[in-house]
Homo-oligomer: A and B are copies of this chain.
Amino acid sequence: MLPKNRVLTPGPTALLPEAQIAQAEASMHHRTDAFVELFRVVRTGLQQLFKTERPVLTYASSGSGALEACVANAIEEGDKVICVNGGKFGERWTKMNRAFGANVVELEVEHGRAVKVEDVQKALEENADCRAVFVQGSESSTGTVHPAREIADLVAKRDNTLMCVDAITWIGAHEVQTDAWNLDLVVCGSQKAMAMPPGLAFLSVSAKAEKMITERKGNRRFYFDIARELKSQAKDQTAFTPAISLVASAAASLKWILDAGVDTLVRNAGDLSAMSQAAVGALGLELLSDAPSDSVTAVRTPGDMDSGAVIKGLKKEFGAIIANGQDALKGKIFRLAHLGNYDYIDTMGLIAALEVVLAEAGLKFDSGAGLKAAQAEYLKRKG
């Protein structure tokens, strides 16, 4: 057989063809009306995706660049912050805050568990001077959602604390209401639910965040300076040369999302997630997470089976690239992606390939059990 090469990872996700082609088509200078028109479409599209009337900034960087924008703008050396660390990306919040001199109260959470709202509440009570809370909406390294909305409710009651959410694999896979839920700084990246290439990061800035950021002067930032970008981007320009071809790609991606509807994109990820969870259960495998994200399903490999062998098998026999665990979870889990441009056929095809590879790796199950469970889940949700 002649397998196709397929990226089936939670980021970069499979590319939307229109977003891919738009890069090659883009040929313009950025200080022109043509760019202004393009960027206005992207800015207003991002506001719809984030469900905010506030500005959503675009940076030429990977998602981590906009995470740094949150830290470098929100805090000054010595500021106290609370970081939820339940995986690789939670750990990144902590490391980044320490790199910028913050006094970090770290809430470590077992991998695969969601942080408890009462633990955040306690930390907030014990640290009245806390300037910001940093959390993932979805921690993709473990496939877990944290209760970011409930945490935001607590933070919203405090005038001097900002709610900073890494929504890189949350937006487009889960319902996210930036304004209604009082999320102050919300970060997204281009290569996730938007199904476009990596290289752009997006950051929404609440009025509270803008006020708190601009009244401080000791921060160490220039490239990621939020105040400067707010000023430039209000005029549909960027402070520094934008990644023009990626901005064109974002316009194509947002057209696809808004034509379908943000809620449809979210439901799509939820349906694929439910199908995948059903399949995993039917094959006798366990999820890593007890608060599973709809962006990515993290599956434990049984006993001493190396997840790397499953992943290699999928690539070799079926051309399918899926994600391993990262850092301490490497070899112990594999991850099935749902956010972005994945559909029923992709998911059923991947489950079918997974069955073959898992059987070869020695897992015992009735052939087709995963497929049957996934299909049943689909039909049930279709109603």
Bound: A224/B65 CA distance, A: 9
Contacts A23-B24, A29-B12 given; does A198 touch B99 at CB 8 Å: no
Scan A29-62; emit 1 where CB is below 8 A from any B CB, else 0.
1101000000000000000000000000000111
Among residues 9 to 30 in chain A, which have CB atoms less than 8 Å away from a CB atom of chain B?
9, 11-12, 15, 20-21, 23-24, 26-30
Number of interface residues, chain A, beta carbon within 8 A: 51
Say yes or no: is A240 at the interface (Cβ < 8 Å to chain B).
yes
Of listed A24, A28, A64, A223, residue having the most chain B CB within 10 A: A223
- The stretch from A142-150, A243-251, A264-272 touching chain B is A243-251
Which B-chain residue is minimally distant from A225 (CB atoms)?
B99
Contact across chains for B20 and A21 when beta carbons are under 8 A apart: no
Contact across chains for A28 and B11 when beta carbons are under 8 A apart: no
Bound: A261/B24 CA distance, A: 25
Among residues 190 to 220 in chain A, which have CB atoms less than 8 Å away from a CB atom of chain B?
191, 197-199, 220
- A242 / chain B contacts, CB cutoff of 8 Å: 62, 198-199
Say yes or no: is A334 at the interface (Cβ < 8 Å to chain B).
no
Closest 6 CB pairs of A and B: A199-B243, A24-B24, A220-B220, A23-B23, A197-B245, A99-B222
Say yes or no: is A184 at the interface (Cβ < 8 Å to chain B).
no
Among candidates B29, B64, B71, B189, residue contacting A7 with C-beta atoms closer than 8 Å: B29
Say yes or no: is A281 at the interface (Cβ < 8 Å to chain B).
no
Bound: A199/B71 CA distance, A: 22
Among candidates B21, B198, B222, B225, residue contacting A241 with C-beta atoms closer than 8 Å: B198
Contacts A63-B241, A244-B198 given; does A99 touch B20 at CB 8 Å: no
Say yes or no: is A355 at the interface (Cβ < 8 Å to chain B).
no
Say yes or no: is A100 at the interface (Cβ < 8 Å to chain B).
yes
Scan A165-194; emit 1 where CB is below 8 A from any B CB, else 0.
000000000000000000000000101000
Among candidates B12, B65, B100, B224, residue contacting A30 with C-beta atoms closer than 8 Å: B12
Contact across chains for A61 and B223 when beta carbons are under 8 A apart: yes
Say yes or no: is A101 at the interface (Cβ < 8 Å to chain B).
yes
Contact across chains for B223 and A65 when beta carbons are under 8 A apart: yes
Bound: A64/B191 CA distance, A: 22
Say yes or no: is A133 at the interface (Cβ < 8 Å to chain B).
no
Say yes or no: is A221 at the interface (Cβ < 8 Å to chain B).
yes
Contact across chains for A100 and B222 when beta carbons are under 8 A apart: yes
Say yes or no: is A139 at the interface (Cβ < 8 Å to chain B).
no
Bound: A143/B110 CA distance, A: 57
Say yes or no: is A381 at the interface (Cβ < 8 Å to chain B).
no
Say yes or no: is A321 at the interface (Cβ < 8 Å to chain B).
yes
Contact across chains for B62 and A241 when beta carbons are under 8 A apart: yes
Bound: A159/B44 CA distance, A: 51
14 further A-B contacts with Cβ under 8 Å, apart from A199-B199, A245-B246, are A5-B27, A7-B27, A7-B29, A12-B29, A23-B24, A61-B223, A63-B240, A63-B241, A99-B222, A100-B220, A197-B244, A198-B241, A198-B244, A246-B246
